[in-house]
Chains A and B, each alone.
Chain A
Amino acid sequence: MRYENGHPVPERRLHPLSWVFHLVGGLGALIPLGIAAALGAEWDGALWMLIPLLLLGPLAGLWHQWVYRYDYGPEGLLIREGLVFRNLRQIDYRRIENIDTERTLLHRLLGVADVKVETSSGGGAEATIRVLSVDGARALSEAVFARRRALVADTDDAPGSEGDPPAGVEDAKHRATPLLRLPASELILMGLIDNRNLFWLGAVVGSVLQVVGVETLERLLGPALLDAGVVYVSQLALVLKIVLVLATVVGVLLVGKLLSVITALVQYHDYTLEQDGDDLRARHGLFTRRTVTLRVPRIQVVHQLATPMHRLFRRVTLQVDLAGGAAEPGQSGGARPLAPICRPARADALIDRALPGMDRAAPDWRPLSARTRRRLTRLWLWCWALLSLPPAIWWWGWPGLAVLPAGLPVALLHGHLYARYTRWALTPDLLLFHRGWLWRRLAVVPRNRIQTVRLARNPFDRRYRMTELEIDTAGGGLAKRRVRLAYLDRDVAARLAGSLLE
């Protein structure tokens, strides 16, 4: 660190191979150039004029690498970019929440890493240092967090929810204990449970079969079926259709599951969750090795999700909402996995680690309003009637009215089970909310993280004398992660809001 006229000037440089990654990162920008080159080939001879353009990328990378400097200032991490248009950024140590590293296959071959510095302000990393050697990245992370701890310890007015680091942070840091490790068997299970890409695959396979479909199958299977004694053409067609449908379903399931198993194995290879001093740190990935740091004081809500598939294999998924978490593309704002998959018994221990000092023992579970069952049953019946009656009457005329009672069992069952499994509890430290019976979601919200409380009553709520209570924390924000207690009795909701705000 050098000083010029009393101002700090950063001196540390990037890894000498940084320009390669600058180039790779900007590879998208080369595509128009490639098109231009292809077009340029038409005017023969003029192609050489494009060579300076092609050199632009590496030169820009080299320039960036040459002028980029970072250093540890007295107050914050200093980053200087540019020489002509200079920009000196200072990121206050106390504001730095996360230093993540990301390594693709190329990074790992060259022994380097992208370093992302995140602060509590949302909207992406505050700075991406591209690239440092792996040792350099570790040194940076250690240096920043050491200074951060020193500063926080100095200024005793650390905000309350930052939490005082527990005694013995220093030695705890060195004996990082793995809290969760996912072997390949668990990952295969995770792939089997996960069905995110199933829908798209179904759409693709379905439309492919529409196109190639029946004729191919007839040609392939027809003779065999004829030999087997299926005489009549109508019979044959029916059998073929059934075979086709079954093959589609089985094929979609198999390929979809295979894909998601492979995805899980690659993405979460060697998943390790460790306690690192005050933080939780997850490392995973086969080709792109990721390190994600979850700063425990920033955790706002812990979600536990159990789909029917999860319950079949006796597993759950844990996710946390971080305050002001970076909303990266492809990642829901601030949501991070705490455990992509784990056993329910393990989940309780992990939640305790994520929310230390919060007593979760023996919550006093409360049900929703007694009128919930009736309301939900009616709601489902109305939806069923609106969706099914017009086509039924269109096809069958007035006898079509018979579809109406067909929806009743499902409506009754859903109303009954939803009301039975949805419940909430208030402990001295936490608000717990368990929702749904098929997809079960448990939200654990520390009461000191609640930002605002909102009571809402729509016309239906008023008719059933109910109120919906929604709480807002500094994390989450995605629709399905909202902590929203619907169907509460009006006075219960008012009292709960009152005690949440105390």
Chain B
Amino acid sequence: MVLLRTRGNTMGFEAVHPGTVAVWRVQSLVGVAVVSLGLGAVFAPLLAGGPLARPALLAGVVALLVLAALGWWLPAVWYRRLRYCLDERGLSVERGLLWRHRITVPRVRVQHSDVSQGPLQRAFGVATLRLYTAGSRFTVTTLPGLEHDTALALRERLLREGDGDAV
């Protein structure tokens, strides 16, 4: 897939597992379907048979298609923007489409960590790594879309040298 090509590994940053695109797509499409069903259930009885029924249906279908297209396209872009890098200092996660940011969690600051996997993620073999610090604003740093084994290995590598000073 052309959309899934990764950017070059600049400065040792790596992309996550491509399977996560499928997970996000399923999630966003299901979300779109639920919202449109809900709105349809509310508005269909109100508009049925009225003079506005046809344009409303048309507008609804167009909106649905646009949302579905976004739901299909955005995950691929998010995926391309999501990169991580583990070096001797700690883990850096870079993400964001318009508002881009890179957050770096030093090894010594990790209080505890989670590797979690939902049913959908399990089907596509990805997992989410969460790092908790004692900070006040960015207490959780999330790295979604890692392969499950990679996530465990990453945590292992991160925590092996990471004990020490808590606060």
**Does A120 lie at the interface of the complex (its beta carbon under 8 Å from any beta carbon of B)?**
yes
Asked if residues B135 and A474 are in contact (CB atoms below 8 Å), the reply is yes
Asked if residues B136 and A477 are in contact (CB atoms below 8 Å), the reply is yes
Q: Report the Cα distance A477→B136, complex, angstroms.
A: 5
Q: Report the Cα distance A462→B167, complex, angstroms.
A: 34
Q: How far is the CB of A3 from chain B (nearest CB, A)?
A: 32
**Does B122 lie at the interface of the complex (its beta carbon under 8 Å from any beta carbon of A)?**
no
Partner of B89, one of A333, A477, A502: A502
Q: How far is the CB of A17 from chain B (nearest CB, A)?
A: 39
Partner of A476, one of B103, B105, B136: B136
Known: A456-B100, A501-B106. A474 touches B89 (CB 8 A): no
Q: Report the Cα distance A477→B166, complex, angstroms.
A: 18
Question: Which chain B residues border A333 with CB–CB below 8 Å?
Answer: 136
**Does B2 lie at the interface of the complex (its beta carbon under 8 Å from any beta carbon of A)?**
no
Asked if residues A482 and B102 are in contact (CB atoms below 8 Å), the reply is no
One digit per residue, 1 when the CB lies within 8 angstroms of any chain A CB and 0 when it does not, for chain B 76-118 equals 0000000000000110000010111111111001000000000
Question: Which chain A residues border B134 with CB–CB below 8 Å?
Answer: 323-324, 451, 474
Asked if residues B101 and A120 are in contact (CB atoms below 8 Å), the reply is no
**Does A253 lie at the interface of the complex (its beta carbon under 8 Å from any beta carbon of B)?**
no
Say what secondary structure dominates the interface of chain B. loop
Q: Report the Cα distance A472→B141, complex, angstroms.
A: 12
Q: How far is the CB of B37 from chain A (nearest CB, A)?
A: 34
Asked if residues B103 and A452 are in contact (CB atoms below 8 Å), the reply is yes
Known: A451-B133, A474-B136. A160 touches B99 (CB 8 A): no
Asked if residues B167 and A455 are in contact (CB atoms below 8 Å), the reply is no
> Which residues, 416 to 461 on A, are CB-close (under 8 Å) to B?
448, 450-459
Q: How far is the CB of A324 from chain B (nearest CB, A)?
A: 7
Q: How far is the CB of B11 from chain A (nearest CB, A)?
A: 10
Known: A475-B136, A502-B89. A454 touches B101 (CB 8 A): yes
One digit per residue, 1 when the CB lies within 8 angstroms of any chain B CB and 0 when it does not, for chain A 452-487 equals 111111110010000000101111110000100000
Asked if residues B98 and A472 are in contact (CB atoms below 8 Å), the reply is no
Question: Which chain B residues border A474 with CB–CB below 8 Å?
Answer: 134-136, 167
One digit per residue, 1 when the CB lies within 8 angstroms of any chain A CB and 0 when it does not, for chain B 124-136 equals 0000000001111
Question: Which chain B residues border A324 with CB–CB below 8 Å?
Answer: 134, 167
Q: How far is the CB of B53 from chain A (nearest CB, A)?
A: 37
> Which residues, 293 to 342 on A, are CB-close (under 8 Å) to B?
298, 321, 323-324, 333-334
Asked if residues B136 and A160 are in contact (CB atoms below 8 Å), the reply is no
Known: A160-B164, A333-B136, A474-B135. A452 touches B101 (CB 8 A): no
Q: Report the Cα distance A473→B102, complex, angstroms.
A: 17
**Does B160 lie at the interface of the complex (its beta carbon under 8 Å from any beta carbon of A)?**
no
Asked if residues B89 and A454 are in contact (CB atoms below 8 Å), the reply is no
Asked if residues A452 and B109 are in contact (CB atoms below 8 Å), the reply is yes
Asked if residues A159 and B104 are in contact (CB atoms below 8 Å), the reply is no
Asked if residues A458 and B106 are in contact (CB atoms below 8 Å), the reply is no
Partner of A472, one of B96, B135, B165: B135
Question: Which chain B residues border A458 with CB–CB below 8 Å?
Answer: 98-100
Known: A323-B167, A451-B109. A473 touches B103 (CB 8 A): no
Q: Determine the residue in chain B with the shortest Cβ distance to A472.
A: B135
Q: Report the Cα distance A453→B109, complex, angstroms.
A: 11
Asked if residues A472 and B100 are in contact (CB atoms below 8 Å), the reply is no
Q: Determine the residue in chain A with the shortest Cβ distance to B136.
A: A477
Known: A160-B165, A161-B165, A459-B98. A452 touches B136 (CB 8 A): no
**Does A497 lie at the interface of the complex (its beta carbon under 8 Å from any beta carbon of B)?**
yes
Partner of B101, one of A456, A472, A482: A456
Asked if residues A452 and B98 are in contact (CB atoms below 8 Å), the reply is no
Question: Which chain A residues border B109 with CB–CB below 8 Å?
Answer: 451-452
Q: How far is the CB of A220 from chain B (nearest CB, A)?
A: 55
Q: Determine the residue in chain B with the shortest Cβ distance to A157.
A: B164
Q: Report the Cα distance A333→B139, complex, angstroms.
A: 15
Q: Report the Cα distance A458→B100, complex, angstroms.
A: 6
Q: Report the Cα distance A161→B133, complex, angstroms.
A: 15
Question: Which chain A residues border B103 with CB–CB below 8 Å?
Answer: 452-455
Question: Which chain B residues border A501 with CB–CB below 8 Å?
Answer: 89-90, 104, 106
Partner of B136, one of A457, A462, A473: A473
Question: Which chain A residues border B89 with CB–CB below 8 Å?
Answer: 501-502
Question: Which chain A residues border B105 with CB–CB below 8 Å?
Answer: 451-452
Q: Report the Cα distance A362→B105, complex, angstroms.
A: 30
Q: How far is the CB of B110 from chain A (nearest CB, A)?
A: 10
Q: How far is the CB of A377 from chain B (nearest CB, A)?
A: 23
Q: How far is the CB of B150 from chain A (nearest CB, A)?
A: 22
Question: Which chain A residues border B96 with CB–CB below 8 Å?
Answer: 456
Interface-centre pick from B105, B134, B165 (highest chain A CB count, 10 A): B134
Asked if residues B104 and A472 are in contact (CB atoms below 8 Å), the reply is no
Q: How far is the CB of A452 from chain B (nearest CB, A)?
A: 5
Interface-centre pick from B101, B104, B137, B166 (highest chain A CB count, 10 A): B137
Interface-centre pick from B90, B101, B141 (highest chain A CB count, 10 A): B101
Nearest 6 interchain pairs by C-beta:
A477-B136, A451-B135, A456-B101, A472-B135, A160-B165, A454-B103
With A451-B135, A470-B137 already in contact, 20 other A-B pairs whose C-beta atoms are closer than 8 Å = A159-B166, A323-B134, A323-B167, A324-B167, A451-B106, A452-B109, A452-B141, A454-B102, A454-B104, A456-B99, A462-B100, A472-B136, A472-B138, A473-B136, A474-B136, A474-B167, A475-B136, A476-B137, A477-B137, A501-B104
User: What are 12 A-B pairs with beta-carbon distances under 8 A?
Assistant: A298-B167, A452-B103, A452-B104, A456-B100, A462-B100, A472-B133, A475-B136, A477-B137, A501-B89, A501-B90, A501-B106, A502-B89
